[in-house]
Structure 1
């Protein structure tokens, strides 16, 4: 890797040579008609993204991001680096990425490491599975023979989550949390169920196994019956089983739309163009109107409608657009009838995102507010990841993925992975004793989340 000092020196030298005032940020020059320009900008943004990672430092844990970033976002972080390699061919971060993923698989090879299991939810586990799935679909270099394959890791997560499908209330669905002692255990949210749907659809297409497709159909039917996906394809945040899932939290987040969109695109492709999946894809794309700017200065640029206009987005929410644009790009490849619509959104979004990348010590750290035309002064993993995904998504036309067994994918799976040990049969000694601080921390987290949701709800209503 290049040393950060070199990049800073290069930035300062450019200020002197070109008479650029160093205290004024210079916008990135992104030419979307030139793949080399896109790759060059992606390289800059990727460098800054990896600067947030500390897991390769002596004494730190590979795969973890420092506070305030939660474990699930670290999984998403490495998914972005797999994507970066697939789009650009740059192998700079491949060893770091492989080390991180394999370090976090846990003793049962299912992305439930002992240091995270205490607070891990279904969606957290799934975001690491997404990274392994992307590695399989993109032919990311396979792990050593003594390690599980990328595909087997995904199948382990899928099989465990299938065992957690709960029909005791609400007629089915996945809970947000895995264990009863975690706050949110009675909440059934779109992202957890959407992740399960997404994985089922991708496994169906990758392997050709109809069992996965049956599960994808089952999840879709459940979320639409409950109303998490409404009749106009708006995807709402979640519902509580305490009321038998009759009350909906109507907040809409970008990644909830995206997680179902990509799953539907895989199912359309798997079914050789099923009309009902085409209708669902088009419906979800139409529902993205919630997240598309109508401002004359930034038409069709994506934004996080539930929190961005009032600057109430939290750490997690800074990253949500990263997954939406990532999944939109894959959808454009899998369902070509969406290509023009999706690129009509990704292109202006990429330009607007790149215009925000003028902060930090290198002058290429990115903010979140893409629609304003003015740098918002923030930096972070979520902002950097989202901008990088928005930029590199514009290379999708020249990208061969997502691959399958029949189109050249090399990751071999294990359909029985994850079935040998259920959550209930895990050795309780592997989990430390729940302490008072755990309970207090969980309660505080719940209050914070509830406050954010209540505030956003009030804002949207008003």
Structure 2
């Protein structure tokens, strides 16, 4: 065969290379899923520079925000759980511990000017994943995984703000940040899920109480429509939260799906099952439009228009992760959920055919022609879609609790600077303690100290 030009020959070689290397996925085969997940995880971790000399462990380079690194390492904990591959275990531990700090609060000085409540929560989720999946223990000198989650909870409780809108958390922690007057789903849904997961793992009713308080506020707010189960993005407290931003993002639904599933599994109270079922149906209807008989996930606000940004590319990953967890924790819903995850996993693998390696993942999973996009978010979303299929195929057990084999030992006073000496331990080994006024005050003092220390360097506003 003759080629008219060298460039034509090179183009055909590149196509052949991509064809040979493009991912294939059999969602019924554990080996196939593990192989595809391994390739995608490797592609994602190539973006990480935090373990390079002179860089900060746990940080991603520009244009990625700090919170996305926390989300990425949460998925790497999940990757170990799904596949059993320990390649990235040590780097994951190093990253999470370094950003948690010895207090476990995930309020590092290098983020003091920009950190929001939602940013902090996504790092806490990584630690909670590690606790619930019995991941290798943290580095000596750092709190346990579950104590890190408790430390974040203890810093967020004093931020519950009743001065406007009857309650809720502000998006931002510090007054100088854009978004401080915005009470949104990532902050409040994050707090709700945090409380729900701590309730289930520890058995401490204080966390159930706070999850209930957070849910009741959300349910009565403009952020939620009880009739249609629509979840809106946020609301301004400058108008006392009387109108909502109706932008639809999948992970806003995912936060409440996951939180409700944890609470229902823990309490078996239909108060949680009814909205869980409603939000699940709304999620599947809105974000999994049927195309060619395949219910493949679409980030509907930006993906069809080619307007997704760096953050938006990550959102599918969280929704799919929490859909999979819901299927585990609420078996009555599993048959409804798994076909959507299987279709999305196959679609995501089909998009992993780009880049110079031929297996870089794009974002439009309804086509096997690479969409030309690439980055941590695209890899993260594809990884979540692909590896979740190992749960039914390998019959992976649900996240554990302290009562069902969890090895991470809690500290209800974590992050407050006080000891746990007054805690009581029940016969089943669950440590419980009501979070007292003193505990809350301690957390508030820590927050205030952080605020004072960073005021001098906050000469301009940054959107986190």
- Would the TM-score normalized by the shorter structure come out above 0.5? yes
Alignment partners' CA distance in 2, 1:107 and 1:280? 38
Q: Which moved more, 1:398-407 or 1:183-192?
A: 398-407
Kindly indicate whether residue 280 of structure 2 is the aligned counterpart of residue 263 of structure 1. no
Write the distance in 2 (CA, Å) between the matches of 1:309 and 1:379: 16
Q: 1:249 is matched with which residue?
A: 245
Once the two structures are superposed, the pairs formed by residues 129-278 of structure 1 within 5 Å of their partners are: 129-231=124-226, 232-272=228-268, 274-278=269-273
Tell me the SS of whatever aligns to 1:43.
helix
* Gapped regions of structure 2 (runs ≥ 5): 1-11, 417-441
Q: 1:215 to 1:290 in 2, by over 3 A?
A: same
Following superposition, the deviation at residue 209 of structure 1 comes to: 0.7
Aligned-pair CA distance for 1:23? 6.0
The equivalent of 2:279 in structure 1 is 284
The DSSP-based 3-state class of the residue aligned with 2:260 is helix
In structure 2, what is the equivalent of residue 376 of structure 1? Answer: 371
1:43 — aligned with what? 38
Query: What corresponds to 1:406 in structure 2?
Result: 403
Asked if the contact 1:293/1:371 (under 8 Å) is kept, the reply is: no
Residue in 2 that maps onto 1:58: 53
1:39-68 alpha-carbon deviations (Å, 9 max, x no partner): 111111111111010011111110000000
What SS does the aligned partner of 1:188 have?
strand
> CA-to-partner distance for each residue in 1:210-254, whole Å, 9 max, x for gaps?
110111111111111013121221111000001110010001101
Matches within 5 A, 1:372-451: 372-397=367-392, 398-419=395-416, 420-422=442-444, 423-426=446-449, 430-431=453-454, 433-434=456-457, 436=459, 438-439=460-461, 442=462, 445=463
* Superposed CA RMSD: 1.8
| SS of equivalent residue, structure 2 residue 229 | coil
How many residue pairs get aligned? The number is 423
Quote how far apart the aligned CAs of 1:25 are.
Answer: 6.8
CA positional deviation for 1:135: 0.2
CA–CA distance in 2 between the matches of 1:196 and 1:148?
20
1: distance between equivalents of 2:169 and 2:94? 30
Find the counterpart in structure 2 of residue 293 from structure 1: 289
Q: Whole-Å Cα distance in 1 between the matches of residues 15 and 229 of structure 2?
A: 48
3-state DSSP of counterpart to 1:239: strand
What is the distance in 2 between the residues matched to 1:183 and 1:237?
16
SS in 1 for 2:16: coil
The residue matched to 2:383 in structure 1 has which SS? helix
1:307 aligns with 2:330: no
Q: How do 1:321-360 residues align onto structure 2 when only pairs under 5 Å count?
A: 321-360=316-355
Counterpart in 1 of 2:429?
none
Alpha-carbon displacement from aligned partner over 1:427-448 (angstroms, at most 9, x marks no partner): 5564262455x33xx3xx49xx
TM-score by length of 1: 0.88
- Sort the Cα spacing of 1:144 and 1:57 in 2 relative to 1 into closer, same or farther, 3 A: closer
Give the secondary-structure state (helix, strand or coil) at the position aligned to 1:257: helix
Aligned to 2:73: 78
Counterpart CA distance in 1 for 2:45 and 2:168 is 36
Higher RCO (C-alpha 8 Å, min separation 6): 2
User: Is there any run of 5+ residues in structure 1 with no aligned partner, and where?
Assistant: 1-14, 447-462
